[in-house]
Amino acid sequence: MNLEEVMASIINRLNPFWIIVFIFFTWASIEQLKYETSSKKGAREAMQTYYLGRFSIAVPALMKQKIRSSKLRYADIQEMEWPQSLNPEQARKAEWDRFMAEVKKLPPPDGKDRVIIKVHEFPAVGKWAKGIFYYNDSFDRHGARWSLLMDAGPVGLWLKTDDIVVEKEIEHSKTIPNYENIAKAFQPLDLHNLKGRQPGNRFYLEHGAINLPYAGQEESIARFEGHPLKLTLLIEMETDFTKEIETMSLIKGTRAMLAVALISPGGGISKIRLREREVAGMPGEEAVLRVREGQRKDLVFTWQFNGKDDSGEYPTTRIEMESPDGNLHEKLKIWDAVLDSMKPMFERKKS
Question: pLDDT higher for 20 or 65?
Answer: 65
- Distance, in Å, from the CA atom of 186 to the CA atom of 148, rounded to the nearest integer, reads 14
The predicted structure's pLDDT at residue 210: 96
99-108, 146-155, 192-201, 263-272: the lowest-pLDDT one = 263-272
Most confident stretch, 27-36, 120-129, 333-342: 333-342
Q: Would you place residue 246 in the very low, low, confident or very high pLDDT band (cuts 50, 70, 90)?
A: confident
Q: Say if residues 92 and 157 touch (Cβ distance below 8 Å).
A: no
Q: What is the pLDDT of residue 133?
A: 97
Name the least confident of 23-27, 53-57, 89-93, 270-274.
23-27
pTM of the model: 0.83
CATH number (1.10.3720.10, 3.40.30.10, 3.40.1000.10, 3.40.220.10) of 47-69+215-344 reads: 3.40.1000.10
Q: What is the pLDDT of residue 190?
A: 84
Question: With pLDDT > 70 as the criterion, what percentage of the chain qualifies?
Answer: 86
More confident call, 1 vs 292: 292
Task: Give pLDDT, residue 9.
Answer: 38
Cβ burial of 246 (10 Å; 0-12, 13-18, 19+) is middle
pLDDT bin (cut points 50, 70, 90) of residue 351 is low
pLDDT, position 268: 86
Is the pLDDT at 216 greater than 60, yes or no?
Answer: yes
Confidence of residue 236 (pLDDT cuts 50, 70, 90): very high
Mean pLDDT of the chain: 86
pLDDT tens figures, 309-340: 999 999 999 999 999 999 999 999 999 999 99
Sorting pLDDT into bands at 50, 70 and 90, what band is 201?
very high
User: What's the mean pLDDT in 191-201?
Assistant: 83
- Confidence class for position 341, pLDDT limits 50, 70, 90: very high
Which residues of the chain are in CATH 3.40.1000.10 domains? Answer: 47-69+215-344
pLDDT of 17 reads 41
pLDDT in tens, 78-122: 999 999 888 889 999 999 999 999 999 999 999 999 999 999 999
